[in-house]
Structure 1
Amino acid sequence: MSLKVSRRRVLVTAATVAAGTIGGNLAPRRALAQEMGSVDDLEEMPPGATLPAFQFFTADNQPRTLADYRGRGVVLNLWATWCGPCVAEMPTLDTLAAAVSADDIVVLPVSSDAGGAASVRAFYDGHDIDHLPVLLDPGGAVTQAWQVPGIPVTVIFDRSGHPRARLIGGADWSTPAAVAKVKALCGPNLSKIPAVKI
């Protein structure tokens, strides 16, 4: 007698038993993101939380780390063009990027596609993505460092580089509520606050 185990079951089980900063204590309900979720599903991280160091690359193979964005709010999303929930989510991240850019918040979608920059550019062109950079995580190094059970994964960092909230699974980032939540988690853009005269 053979036991048929679906890919979904394996990934849900992996999400349940994963031991790591992001994956270890998340319920399996969001591990696969079979439908678009909501920013209401964001899990806020405790003050002082940290994540393992990570590095990703620009389309021209220049290394980047979160330190390169210090002083800016960051919405970092791990995704791939072959991931159904990621495909649904990316246009909403593009809308979010346009909505928060004036507040000095960047949306950084980091792709683990084996096809590299060419695959991501083709996807962007085919889905009218205009506000997102092409960023790469060859071999899924960030996903492995964070011990994430699946993608998409989004982590929001404040302007000091601290992780404030995370979500495993897709969400609609284009809503006014999502934009407001991201701005609140990233904190105010202090460069736009006028100096007080004494």
Structure 2
Amino acid sequence: MDQNRSSGRGRIVLIGALGVAAAIAAVGIYGIAGPNGNGEAGLCASSSELAATVDGLATGDVAALIVNQTPKPAPDLTFVDDTGATRKLSDWKGRAVLFNLWATWCAPCRHEMPALDNLQAALGGDDFEVVAVNIDTGGDEKPKRFLEEVKVDDLAYYADHTTDVFRELKKAGRAFGLPTTLLIDRNGCEIAHMAGPAEWDSDDAKGVVRALIGGSQQ
């Protein structure tokens, strides 16, 4: 009887020890990789304060901004520039970015594109760029004519005629239609996103973008 009790206690101690070891291992993994297991939380930890600032500024004409309280690295989307050269969103790391998807068949885009152009003219430079990517599937002729018609002069031309960028953002829960916009800080972290158009050349929007430009950089 005493031997059985001793054996039972031994099994309990062993199970308890294994449980503690597993808990320690889990804490170790959490501490290294962050809660999602891939280290993303740590990469963008310094962007949380900026996100809180943007959240406070997202009023009026940009009240529809959805701010990420826990910023994560923006997806490294691939598209082409006006020369046909492949570009990646990570090429802009070190600069703040307003990333926008648009198409010629998108009625709200026709209204929004001049505002984005005005924003680029006002605040664009070494620290910030409006990266507006066209996703028409028929080539460059129609979107370039569209930009001429709506008198867009300051935006650089970018395109993804495969629409892979839209599908990738849709999979990430960021694109449900057009236009779609991401605000990305200098660290390459997504601070906020918006579905639908906005008056991006308004004082409200410029206040948000100035905060984005002035945000911390690792």
TM-score by length of 1: 0.72
Could you tell me which residue of structure 2 aligns to residue 115 of structure 1? 138
Could you tell me which residue of structure 1 aligns to residue 124 of structure 2? 101
Q: Does 1:163 align with 2:186?
A: no
Local SS of the residue matching 1:107: strand
Q: Distance in 2 between matches of 1:41 and 1:122?
A: 30
**Cα offset, 1:60, TM superposition:** 2.1
Alpha-carbon contact 1:51-1:146 (below 8 Å) kept: no
Q: Distance in 2 between matches of 1:48 and 1:42?
A: 14
Mean alpha-carbon deviation: is it higher for 52-61 or for 74-83? 52-61
Mean alpha-carbon deviation: is it higher for 82-91 or for 137-146? 137-146
Mean alpha-carbon deviation: is it higher for 99-108 or for 169-178? 99-108
Per-residue CA deviations over 1:53-87 (Å, capped at 9, x if unaligned) read 31011122211112211111100000101100111
Q: Distance in 2 between matches of 1:52 and 1:105?
A: 18
Q: Does 1:176 align with 2:216?
A: no
Q: Which structure would you say has the larger Rg?
A: 2
Which residue of 133, 150, 167 corresponds with 1:144?
A: 167
**Cα offset, 1:166, TM superposition:** 0.5
State, as a whole percentage, how many aligned pairs show the same letter: 36
**Cα offset, 1:94, TM superposition:** 0.4
Q: Which amino acid is the alignment partner of residue 46 of structure 1?
A: Q
Could you tell me which residue of structure 1 aligns to residue 55 of structure 2? none
Which residue of 89, 94, 102 corresponds with 1:66?
A: 89
Per-residue CA deviations over 1:27-48 (Å, capped at 9, x if unaligned) read xxxxxxxxxx931110111334
Q: Are the structure 2 counterparts of residues 177 and 55 from structure 1 closer, same or farther at C-alpha, using a change threshold of 3 Å?
A: same
Q: Which amino acid is the alignment partner of residue 169 of structure 1?
A: G
Q: Are the structure 2 counterparts of residues 116 and 187 from structure 1 closer, same or farther at C-alpha, using a change threshold of 3 Å?
A: farther
Q: Does 1:185 align with 2:208?
A: no
Q: Does 1:82 align with 2:111?
A: no
Runs of at least 5 residues in structure 2 that lack an aligned partner in the other structure: 1-59
Per-residue CA deviations over 1:72-127 (Å, capped at 9, x if unaligned) read 11000001011001111000000111111146210011000123222222112111
Q: Does 1:40 align with 2:63?
A: yes
Alpha-carbon contact 2:97-2:185 (below 8 Å) kept: yes
Structure with higher helix content: 2
**Cα offset, 1:138, TM superposition:** 1.5
Say how many residue pairs are matched. 154
What is the RMSD computed on CA atoms of the aligned residues?
1.9
Q: Are the structure 2 counterparts of residues 105 and 96 from structure 1 closer, same or farther at C-alpha, using a change threshold of 3 Å?
A: same
Alpha-carbon contact 1:159-1:186 (below 8 Å) kept: yes
TM-score by length of 2: 0.66
